[in-house]
C-alpha cells in the first residue's frame, strides 16, 4: 500500500479539497501504531513525521506536503 505525497502549490488545490476548513490535529513527538479504516488526506503545516507501513517503503512527510493515506493502511 502506498502513501501518496504531493505539494498543494496552487490555490485551486486548496479550494478543491477545502483545506482551509480542515481541523488541526497536533501531536508531541511520539511513536505509535495506526490503522486507517478510511482514506484520509491531510496537509502537514509544521514539523515532520516518519511513516512506516508494514511491508513497504518508509516515508518522511514534512511541512507543505499533502498526504493521502489509503484505506486499510497499517503503519507506525
Domain range enclosing 19: 4-23+32-75
- The CATH number of the domain holding residue 41 is 2.60.120.10
Residue 15 has a pLDDT of: 82
Residue 38 has a pLDDT of: 96
Distance CA 61, CA 70 (A): 15
pLDDT, averaged in runs of 10, over the chain (76 residues): 74 80 90 94 90 89 90 94
Asked if 48 contacts 60 with a C-beta cutoff of 8 angstroms, the reply is yes
**Cell 486499510 maps to which residue?**
72
Distance CA 6, CA 74 (A): 20
Name, in order, each residue with C-beta under 8 angstroms of 12's C-beta and a sequence gap of 6 or more: none
Residue 37 has a pLDDT of: 96
Q: How many residues does the chain have?
A: 76
Residue 12 has a pLDDT of: 77
Radius of gyration of the chain (CA): 13
Give the chain's domain count: 1
Amino acid at each position: 500500500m502506498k502513501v501518496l505525497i504531493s505539494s498543494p502549490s496552487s490555490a485551486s488545490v486548496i479550494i478543491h479539497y477545502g483545506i482551509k476548513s480542515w481541523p488541526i490535529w497536533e501531536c508531541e513527538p511520539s511513536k505509535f501504531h495506526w490503522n486507517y479504516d478510511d482514506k484520509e488526506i491531510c496537509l502537514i503545516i509544521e514539523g515532520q513525521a516518519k511513516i512506516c507501513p508494514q511491508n513497504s517503503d518508509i516515508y518522511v512527510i514534512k511541512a507543505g506536503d499533502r498526504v493521502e493515506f489509503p484505506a486499510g493502511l497499517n503503519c507506525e
